[in-house]
Amino acid sequence: MMPNIDVASLSAAVLNGDRRALGRAITLIESGRPGDRQLARELLDLLRPHAGDSIRIGVSGSPGAGKSTFIESLGNHLIDQGHRVAVLAVDPSSTISGGSILGDKTRMEILSRRTEAFIRPSPSGETLGGVARHTRETMQIVEAAGFDAVLVETVGVGQSETEVSRMTDMFLLMLLPGGGDELQGIKRGIVELADMVIVNKADGDTKAPAQRTAADYRNALHLLHPRSANWQVPVESYSAIDGNRTPEIWNIICRFRDTMAESGELSAQRAAQARAWMWSEVTDTLVDMLKHDKTVKQQLKKLEKAVTAGETSPVAAAQKLIDIFLEKN
Ligand SMILES: Nc1nc2c(ncn2[C@@H]2O[C@H](COP(=O)(O)OP(=O)(O)OP(=O)(O)O)[C@@H](O)[C@H]2O)c(=O)[nH]1
Ligand SMILES: [Mg+2]
């Protein structure tokens, strides 16, 4: 797929801010070929010392809550302030819904045309695990390329926001006016992950409902055990369409980052994330190796069939596959 890659010069070009190199680097880490994986690891090794110097913000919320519109507004505000902004999407559902990535691009119309911005949708046809792995690695690459604000958008209906909260410094939850989280298809656990809640569409007819919803959440959040003793989760009503309060939202984000940096929580969180990353990399790599093993492949269909038919227990079949794999190594 990517012949004759010279990792050293690719890395140098990425560090130089070469956009085509950036695209190629990300394509390399997204490649499923085992040979490419080794190159990807080498590339990440070269870039890692230059990564980490950004604020990583996760933006989650129910479908249609206005996440992309918010990112468009915040991204443009940040660029006006001299920042460089990367937008990554964690959206394994895009394989089902089809066009959501294209939709996002059009919703980030101005942002996507600016040279200080880089927008990368998640690769289609990937499982959540795959998308999460790629997003984490892509984050390192865009940071090395000099992007100092990384915004990660995810649809808040499943497991993906937990993944995103594990790779970002701050987790924003975007809600619609009216109704609690159960009505919006948001699980309670997700509200507990939030470092800030934004009730969007506080404009026109939905302005008053947005303010009421914000007040409800403010009350509800007071009852939750705070994640940090140093941070009371703010609940803001907001309109991404008019974007008037975008600078205020950014100020809150900065205040959060400064508070967490001063208390030591930011570096503690990043250290914990690095440890967790190591373990998911171990899991992903072992599973990759196992799935690419020839003998395992030969037995796989048969065992899957036996499990489906209830002839073999899943546990026994898993052990059998692992035994086959280990015997050969
Ligand atoms: N009235 C109003 N509409 C908004 C606002 N923000 C977004 N919208 C509209 O809501 C719809 C969804 O906006 P998106 O930004 O695509 O929402 P999203 O959360 O990214 O959607 P998905 O990625 O599909 O989950 C679009 O039609 C927007 O124009 C807002 O502040 N006020
Ligand atoms: Mg979107």
**Residue 63 in contact with ligand 1 by CB distance below 6 A:** yes
How much is the average pLDDT of 264-270? Answer: 96
* pLDDT bucket at 92, cuts 50 / 70 / 90: low
pLDDT at site 227 = 84
Q: Is the CB of 67 under 6 A from ligand 1?
A: yes
87 Cα: distance to centroid of ligand 2 (angstroms): 11
Nearest CA to ligand 1 atom 3: 201
Alpha helices in 67-206 (DSSP H): 67-80, 94-97, 100-107, 109-112, 128-144, 160-165, 188-193
By CB neighbour count within 10 A (0-12 exposed, 13-18 middle, 19+ buried), where does 68 fall? buried
Q: CB within 5 A of ion ligand 2: which residues?
A: 67-68, 104
Residue 171 near residue 42 (C-beta atoms within 8 A): no
* Mean pLDDT within 131-159: 89
Contact call for residues 116 and 83 (beta carbons, < 8 A):
yes
Residue 99 has pLDDT above 70, yes or no: no
Please list the alpha-helical segments (H only) found in 154-264.
160-165, 188-193, 207-223, 246-263
- Helix, strand or coil, per DSSP, at residue 117: strand
Which atom of ligand 1 is closest in space to residue 97's alpha carbon?
24
Q: Name the residue of 62, 68, 69, 241 to mutate for ligand 1: max ligand atoms within 8 A of Cβ.
A: 69
Query: Pick from 191, 255, 252, 253: which is nearest to 224 by CA?
Result: 191
Pick the ligand that lies closest to the CA of residue 73.
1
From the CA of 322, how far away is ligand 2's center (Å)?
40
Sheet of 149-155, strands arranged across: 117-120, 85-90, 149-155, 55-61, 170-175, 196-199, 235-237
189: which 2 tokens? 């656990």
The yes-or-no verdict on residue 213 having pLDDT over 80 is yes
**CA contacts within 13 A on the Cβ side of 56:** 24
Kindly tell me if the per-residue pLDDT of 186 is higher than 70: no
Per-residue model confidence as pLDDT tens digits over 8-57: 999 999 999 999 999 999 999 998 787 898 999 999 999 999 999 899 99
What is the model's pLDDT at position 155? 72
**DSSP code, position 240:** T
Give the SS3 label for residue 127.
coil
Is the CB of 240 within 6 Å of ligand 1? yes
Cα 315 to ligand 2 centre (Å): 39
Atom 30 in ligand 1: residue holding the nearest Cα: 201
pLDDT above 90: residue 59: yes
Question: For residue 147, how far is its CA from the centre of ligand 2 (angstroms)?
Answer: 21
Please name each of the domains of the chain with its CATH number: 1-50 (1.20.5.170), 52-263 (3.40.50.300), 277-327 (1.10.287.130)
Residue with CA at minimum distance from ligand 1 atom 32:
201
Cβ(58) to ligand 1 under 6 A? no
Kindly report which listed range (101-105, 217-221, 273-277, 316-320) carries the lowest average pLDDT score.
101-105
Give the span between the Cα atoms of 17 and 106, in whole angstroms: 24
Whether 144 shows a pLDDT value over 50: the answer reads: yes
Task: Write out the two tokens for 295.
Answer: 């003998």
Asked whether the predicted pLDDT for residue 312 surpasses 90, the reply is: yes
At residue 217, the 3 state secondary structure works out as helix
- Mean pLDDT, the chain, rounded, equals 89
Contact 203, 237 (CB under 8 A): no
Over range 212-234, report the average pLDDT.
89
